[in-house]
Structure 1
């Protein structure tokens, strides 16, 4: 009896255990299901956030180390302004923005990298750098990099005349003759001397045959030193191989802006042809004049441009050309407002004091030169008549094989010859 009761008790306990196990198994399945649901929801939310971050911060990427990294095109000529004197500007930006700015080691690179702990600080640093660039571009600190020119150096006869002009001013031939005269003077003023050695005392007796008694006048000042006193030297002459007319000056500090300028120039080609009436443009260069100020304190000496004919087509065409190019470049953001307001003055620069090379012994360059004698001699010089063949997007300080400024883009002018 006792055995029977214990057996029933065991069966009941086993039954309860089986029921509990089944419920536990269902509970485990429920937990597994819920965990999958939570993971799916979490993954969806995470991916949604990542997509949103990517859309709001395109161009930023997760850094391999920590935070975010963004590359920004700046332009090689602007890197030094972001670095600052002895790196002060860069260090200040890094400290204030909580980022690390990596500047390119090569002068040919025009990208910088900005790394930070968050997208927000990287974005703020990028905007701050953009502000610095805008301030620099609007200031005289950044020189013009390009300009639209009308090349004249393509005419060999003009180049020859300008070379002769420079040689005559610098006195290259007279300097050579001065050297020959000096050599002749040294030869005629040499003194004959007899050297006689005493064999016993090994002393040398000097016997002077004849020493003419003459008085030498003080040596006249050389032409080169006189030119320097006037502030005239070779470096301020414009190279004949780069002679041109300037239409508008540009600051294009990266490849994107250069490409944009090329596109603008090509896009206005039909308008330029209409402005020129599809006829060739001929000019005459005559005389020399000073750009503002007196001749004895000249900064820029230039050859004025005259129109051939009385119809006024050149002046009208050039004004329209200037307006079309300048207006198009202003709309593209490639010309500063102050440059757009300047009126076009067609001229060919012959000498520019700004190009003067600084000498080691001079702390400051001379800003002017005395052009009175040059003007007296060449003030009415007829340099000739020439055809304008193209408008040229020229890069300053860089030259092609022909010696002219590097061509970034060009549009042709009507090339018919006069009857």
Structure 2
């Protein structure tokens, strides 16, 4: 079934096929070799979305890739880069590790440069998905009325359900960081943060209703390549209890693409009684007039997450 329905990767408005390969336990330095072996003919399709310059010596394509992803293009002992250059008959120049700059592809033939660029984009997109998210779009729910109701909820849960398996105060969210999640992002350098800020502002004039705001924000950020789409519609939610909080009260919820890694070693809890007793608990009402581009693992002066960008509705 994997052959009949291969994974599709969207890059720059086009869709590419990632051929299925046998899953093995690889170290990060070796993963790109296995992935590269899975790049099929779909990665060589001519694409007019790239800026290819004609020079006296042939053709040239320069583009930005966040420095944390360089290693996946270079590969173990430089093997991935060498194979790319050999297969496409091009030369690929990559900035030194940790230095932000442009990757430059040069070659005698335009199709070779396009093929190298396309393969690098598919490679980068695949390994970007494996990076932990750095930011998320959110509606802040840390207003006093919500915090007061949340603390009441916490108090009553502990009074009535503390004897249930695994239920303790360590499960509860920090009241100052209550929020409704729209989606998570991987922003790997200042340029990507700036791109996300600009995209957020462009969305302002088009939205009106809460679910519509969330859905359209998701669509825009998915199209830009900064966010992965997990559902047909955004499942608006606010986390009040999570086993992640046991080890770190400031922990953030994980997206579905990475959460499996974190279940190992986490103590579960029996939430059936809580759901039964508090299914209609009222947390209060607030007016949501801002969307925040929030930075993970951060805190501002109010106790909420540090903000990298904000979209405010009148």
Same fold (TM over 0.5): yes
Match of 1:408 among 304, 308, 313: 308
Matched residue, 2:41: none
Deviation at 1:323, TM superposition (A): 3.8
Which runs of 5 or more residues in structure 1 are unaligned?
A: 1-50, 60-71, 172-222, 276-316, 415-419
Over 3 Å counting, the alpha-carbon distance change for 1:94 and 1:243 in structure 2 is same
Matched residue, 1:56: 59
Match of 1:322 among 214, 217, 228: 214
Indicate whether 1:135 and 2:35 are aligned: no
Q: How far apart are the structure 2 equivalents of 1:111 and 1:367?
A: 44
Deviations 1:161-201 (A, max 9, x none): 33454466568xxxxxxxxxxxxxxxxxxxxxxxxxxxxxx
Whether the 8 Å contact between 1:163 and 1:240 is mirrored in structure 2 is yes
- TM-score normalized by the length of structure 1: 0.45
Indicate whether 1:237 and 2:137 are aligned: no
CA RMSD of aligned residues (A): 4.1
Q: How far apart are the structure 1 equivalents of 2:223 and 2:82?
A: 37
Indicate whether 1:157 and 2:121 are aligned: no
Partner secondary structure for residue 298 of structure 2 = strand
Match of 1:393 among 293, 298, 302: 293
Matched residue, 2:234: 344
Q: How far apart are the structure 2 equivalents of 1:165 and 1:320?
A: 29
Whether the 8 Å contact between 2:139 and 2:179 is mirrored in structure 1 is yes
- Residue pairs, 1:358-397, within 5 angstroms: 364-366=264-266, 368-397=268-297
Over 3 Å counting, the alpha-carbon distance change for 1:329 and 1:357 in structure 2 is same
Deviation at 1:401, TM superposition (A): 2.5
Matched residue, 2:65: 74
Whether the 8 Å contact between 2:138 and 2:293 is mirrored in structure 1 is yes
Q: Which has the larger radius of gyration?
A: 1
Deviation at 1:390, TM superposition (A): 1.0
Deviation at 1:58, TM superposition (A): 6.3
The count of aligned residue pairs is 236
Partner secondary structure for residue 322 of structure 1 = helix
Partner secondary structure for residue 385 of structure 1 = coil
Match of 1:93 among 77, 80, 84: 80
Partner secondary structure for residue 301 of structure 2 = coil
Whether the 8 Å contact between 1:243 and 1:348 is mirrored in structure 2 is yes
Q: How far apart are the structure 2 equivalents of 1:327 and 1:113?
A: 28
- TM-score normalized by the length of structure 2: 0.58
Q: Determine which structure has the larger helix proportion and give its number.
A: 1
Matched residue, 2:197: 262
Matched residue, 1:209: none
Whether the 8 Å contact between 2:59 and 2:107 is mirrored in structure 1 is no
